[in-house]
Chains A and B, each alone.
Chain A
Amino acid sequence: NAGVTQTPKFQVLKTGQSMTLQCAQDMNHEYMSWYRQDPGMGLRLIHYSVGAGITDQGEVPNGYNVSRSTTEDFPLRLLSAAPSQTSVYFCASSGETGAVAIAGETQYFGPGTRLLVL
């Protein structure tokens, strides 16, 4: 198993550009999520999905869109990049199928995408 993979590893954007961060997992996990990690702050949840066709907002969803057309993939789209979106983005997955089931499940993180918006 490759686990959770993310592409690209690094990306530089200009303000106003759009892009998609890719995330894929091969563990047949129902639950997938996107986080951002900024210096001096804890990871913050952007969006999450409890299964194909189902997505929901996390703590900091503004400026980001997601979709979940398959169990394996959960792309994150930046609609119009802003310097405030400069961050490291992590995708994660786990086997739980709902908020209650998450209690005992290990969450697996991808290696991250470092994004710089100029």
Chain B
Amino acid sequence: KNQVEQSPQSLIILEGKNCTLQCNYTVSPFSNLRWYKQDTGRGPVSLTIMTFSENTKSNGRYTATLDADTKQSSLHITASQLSDSASYICVVIASGGSYIPTFGRGTSLIVHP
């Protein structure tokens, strides 16, 4: 069964600090991996999309890495801001056949001033 596991479940950091969120997956065959940011009460917003051949992709202060061999991804947030407080969701999409993405449960990040 395809699964996406995210850790930690929740994280509290001080404003200005860096943090790294983890995503492990068992989805196969792999097509692409996405990170979304979801603010409370809103729909998810795409941060990065990574395909098999990509190891690193940045979007401002967000940097995602992908190790397709170990089936792991991370999202690194640099110099956190209060507006980074949100849930971060990892999604993995399999290739071929019907399109049914596998979503992780998300990491809840709280940035304190």
How many B residues face the partner with a CB closer than 8 A? Answer: 27
Task: Indicate if the CB atoms of A102 and B105 lie closer than 8 Å.
Answer: no
Chain B's closest residue to A106 (CB) is B46
| Residue A2 is within 8 A (CB to CB) of chain B in the complex | no
Across chains A and B, the number of contacting residue pairs, with CB separation under 8 Å, is: 59
Chain A's closest residue to B52 (CB) is A103
Task: Indicate if the CB atoms of A44 and B103 lie closer than 8 Å.
Answer: yes
Chain B's closest residue to A6 (CB) is B43
Complex CA distance for A108 and B96, rounded to whole angstroms: 22
Q: Which residues of B contact A40 (CB under 8 A)?
A: 105
Task: Indicate if the CB atoms of A111 and B43 lie closer than 8 Å.
Answer: yes
Task: Indicate if the CB atoms of A42 and B98 lie closer than 8 Å.
Answer: no
Complex CA distance for A113 and B1, rounded to whole angstroms: 29
Task: Indicate if the CB atoms of B51 and A99 lie closer than 8 Å.
Answer: no
Q: Supply 18 further A-B pairs (C-beta < 8 A) apart from A43-B44, A92-B43, A107-B34.
A: A42-B104, A43-B89, A45-B101, A59-B100, A90-B44, A99-B95, A99-B99, A100-B95, A100-B96, A102-B32, A103-B31, A103-B93, A104-B32, A104-B49, A105-B49, A111-B42, A112-B41, A112-B42
